[in-house]
């Protein structure tokens, strides 16, 4: 499957960037909210456009769309690698998101079309998800090695050879896939969803970093109104971008919520833990990368084995187990301290990794199998949208919660831990206060995430029937 290398680099890019952020912060000195935008603008652009591009792929052809997206993704990677300012890096990451929005739903749809048999399709989707997980497994290790020798821009340059190889191989190895029936793309829906997500997120970020202001409040209100109008419009147009009718199915709804929430807590924990290992414990980037490897390997293996797990315990139990395992893993991070916590971190990623692996495979499989094959792109885009929005929301919401804790409890020298530690002439007491404030923010964020996943796991156990259709 020629599409898998692209999935691999998209995943690698995210995991490497988590580890590279301390270097990025030192090099181009972003503010607290700019640092969060660097990390999650990609996810918000992708999440805002996935549903639209899933429909566009159904109409005009998924192979054409994914090849165009690969070119855009490569151009954004080049721009990011050579960015000299925070705003330049944010813009380049946004361009990468524009390309990435074409890759995931179209790639998943192409994989699904190649395997019409439900059992083989489930295995193929498991491999698709495992490839995504493997990117996070090898990304930090490769990134750690590269960051030892090169500047931080190298984490984006490694995308270019894979993009070029895909553009050469895809027309030969892949066939075009499109829907037999389709409707027009509703541009107002696209604009409302994009504006709503970005404005509401901007409001949350600025409230956490700087407190409430008139501009921040207005942006939040407009963003919420735009999202409300988007949802209302989907119920009134002939060809909605988001088929809300699918959510009447309780199984589908719980699955999509699982995909959203698992990525919320996964991205926040990954981002904050990367800073904790390097900036609080003082571990070098390569050693920090090695610490992430056991959990990533478990995650990858679980993605591959999810069809067998589901066959043994059923979808209901698998969905419930997803949340309970993630919750247990997150709670282990509460045992970290400024004096040590690597063992707790590794144990956390291993236990939660099983839950993440179940989620990454199960959500996509349920979404794609719930619709006719010719609508796989649109259905797959809903599953991937829940993942990408979760990925961005995790850093935005839980990351902003951690940033708020640091602003309230920190020494007030700068807006982030890394900015504070980069200041010269700090007293030892100030450094320790900054580290303890960050650790408190980490604990608040992962504790909140753990409680949310536990609550949804209990809800799934109570609401879903004991026997779900396979």
CB 435 within 8 A of CB 39: no
pLDDT of residue 108: 62
Rounded Cα distance, 355 and 347, in Å: 13
Q: Is residue 469 predicted with pLDDT exceeding 60?
A: no
CA pair distance 394, 446, nearest whole angstrom: 10
> What's the confidence (pLDDT) of residue 191?
86
Instruction: Please report the pLDDT score of residue 24 as a whole number.
Output: 86
Task: Classify domain 4-177+241-463 by CATH number.
Answer: 1.20.1250.20
Rounded Cα gap, residues 31 and 379, in angstroms: 38
DSSP class of residue 374?
G
* DSSP-assigned states of every residue in 203-220: HHHHHHHH---HHHHHHH
- Whether residue 450 has pLDDT greater than 90: yes
| Confidence label for 114 from pLDDT (cuts 50, 70 and 90) | low
Nearest to 153 by CA among 221, 104, 82, 90: 82
DSSP string for 82-146: T--SHHHHHHHHHHHHHHHHHHHHHHHHHHHHH--SHHHHHHHHHHHHHHHHHHHHHHHHHHHHH
Residue 151 has pLDDT above 70, yes or no: yes
Per the model's pLDDT, the better-predicted residue between 356 and 251 turns out to be 356
Mean pLDDT of the chain: 81
Smallest Cα–Cα separation from 443: which of 297, 223, 273? 273
User: What one-character-per-residue DSSP string does 213-259 give?
Assistant: -HHHHHHHHHHHHHHHHHHHHHTTSSS-SS-GGGGGSHHHHHHHHHH
Helix (H, G, I), strand (E, B) or coil at 178: coil
Query: Among 73-87, 132-146, 325-339, 441-455, which stretch is predicted with the lowest mean pLDDT?
Result: 132-146
Q: Within its chain, how far is the Cα of 463 from the centroid?
A: 27
* pTM summary value: 0.75
The residue written with tokens 């026997």 in the block is: 467
**CA distances for 205 relative to 35, 72, 90, 231, 405, angstroms:** 11, 27, 15, 23, 13
Domain with CATH 1.20.1250.20 in the chain: 4-177+241-463
pLDDT value at 47 more than 70? no
Q: What is the predicted pLDDT for the residue at 146?
A: 80
- Looking at residue 107, what is its pLDDT? 66
C-alpha to C-alpha distance for 344 and 273, rounded to whole angstroms: 11
Q: What is the DSSP letter of 415?
A: S
pLDDT higher than threshold 80 for residue 116 = no
Kindly tell me if the per-residue pLDDT of 404 is higher than 60.
yes
Reference 50, options 148, 160, 197, 150; nearest CA is: 197
Q: How confident is the model at residue 468 (pLDDT cuts 50, 70, 90)?
A: low
Query: CA 383: distance to chain centroid?
Result: 12
Residue 325 φ/ψ region, left for φ over 0, alpha for ψ in the -120 to 50 degree band, beta for the rest = alpha
Return the pLDDT at 175.
Answer: 60
Is-contact 163 69, C-beta < 8 A?
A: no
Average pLDDT on 333-347 reads 94
Which residue shows structure tokens 């909210």? 33
- Mean pLDDT is lowest, of 67-71, 187-191, 288-292, 382-386, for 382-386
Q: Nearest 5°: phi and psi at 345? A: -65, -50
With 0-12 / 13-18 / 19 or more C-beta atoms within 10 angstroms meaning exposed / middle / buried, residue 116 is exposed
| Cβ pair 226, 195 in contact under 8 A | yes
pLDDT value at 361 more than 60:
yes
pLDDT at 374: 55
Tell me if residue 304 falls in helix, strand or coil.
helix
Lowest-confidence region among 13-17, 173-177, 236-240, 320-324: 173-177
> Is the pLDDT confidence value at 89 over 90?
yes
DSSP string, 13-65: HHHHHHHHHHHHHHHH---HHHHHHHHHHHHHHHHHHHHHHHHHHHHH-HHHH
**Higher pLDDT, residue 362 or 264:** 264
| pLDDT beyond 90 at 342 | yes
Using 50, 70 and 90 to split pLDDT, how confident is the model at 213? confident
Residue 173 pLDDT grade (very low, low, confident, very high; cuts 50, 70, 90): low
pLDDT at 88: 93
Sign of the alpha-carbon torsion through 24, 4, 399, 326: negative
pLDDT of residue 333: 96
pLDDT band (50, 70, 90) for residue 113: low
* Weakest-pLDDT range from 74-88, 250-264, 359-373, 452-466: 359-373
Through-space distance between the first and last CA atoms of the chain, rounded to whole angstroms: 26
* Percent of the chain surpassing pLDDT 90: 23
């Amino acid at each position: 499957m020629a599409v898998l290398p692209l999935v691999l680099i998209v995943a690698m890019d995210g995991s490497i960037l988590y580890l590279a952020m301390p270097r990025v912060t030192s090099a181009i000195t972003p503010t607290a909210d700019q640092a969060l935008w660097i990390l999650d603008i990609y996810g918000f652009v992708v999440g805002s456009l996935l549903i639209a591009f899933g429909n566009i792929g159904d109409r005009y052809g998924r192979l054409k769309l994914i090849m165009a997206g690969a070119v855009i993704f490569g151009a954004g990677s080049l721009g990011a690698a050579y960015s000299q300012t925070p705003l330049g890096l944010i813009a380049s990451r946004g361009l990468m998101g524009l390309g990435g929005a074409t890759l995931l739903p179209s790639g998943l749809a192409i994989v699904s079309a190649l395997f019409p048999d439900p059992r083989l399709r489930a295995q193929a989707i498991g491999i698709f998800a495992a490839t995504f997980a493997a990117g996070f497994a090898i990304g930090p290790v490769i990134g750690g090695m590269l960051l030892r020798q090169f500047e931080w821009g190298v984490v984006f340059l490694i995308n270019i050879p894979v993009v070029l190889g895909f553009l050469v191989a895809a027309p030969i190895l892949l066939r075009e896939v499109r829907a037999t029936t389709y409707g027009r793309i509703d541009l107002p829906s696209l604009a409302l969803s994009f504006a709503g997500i970005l404005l509401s997120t901007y409001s949350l970020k600025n409230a956490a970093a700087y407190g409430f202001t008139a501009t921040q409040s207005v942006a939040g209100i407009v963003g919420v109104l735009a999202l409300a109008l988007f949802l209302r419009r989907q119920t009134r147009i002939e060809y909605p971008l988001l088929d809300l009718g699918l959510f009447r199915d309780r199984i589908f709804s719980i699955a999509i919520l699982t995909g959203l929430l698992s990525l919320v807590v996964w991205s926040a924990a990954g981002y904050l833990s990367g800073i904790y290992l390097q900036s609080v414990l003082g571990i070098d980037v390569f050693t920090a990368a090695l610490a992430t490897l056991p959990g990533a390997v478990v995650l990858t293996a679980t993605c591959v084995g999810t069809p067998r797990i589901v066959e043994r315990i059923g979808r209901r139990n698998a969905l419930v187990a997803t949340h309970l395992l993630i919750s247990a893993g997150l709670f282990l991070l509460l045992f970290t301290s400024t004096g040590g916590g690597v063992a707790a971190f590794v144990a956390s990623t291993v236990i939660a990794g099983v839950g993440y692996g179940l989620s990454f495979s199960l959500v996509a499989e349920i979404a794609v199998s719930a619709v006719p094959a010719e609508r796989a792109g649109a259905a797959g885009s809903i599953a991937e949208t829940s993942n990408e929005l979760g990925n961005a929301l995790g850093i935005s919401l839980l990351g902003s919660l951690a940033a708020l804790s640091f602003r309230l409890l920190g020494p007030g020298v700068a807006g982030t831990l890394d900015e504070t530690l980069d200041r010269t002439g700090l007293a030892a007491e100030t450094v320790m206060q900054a580290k303890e404030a960050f650790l408190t923010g980490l604990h608040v964020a992962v504790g909140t995430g753990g409680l949310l996943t536990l609550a949804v796991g209990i809800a799934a156990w109570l609401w879903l029937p004991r026997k779900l259709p396979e």
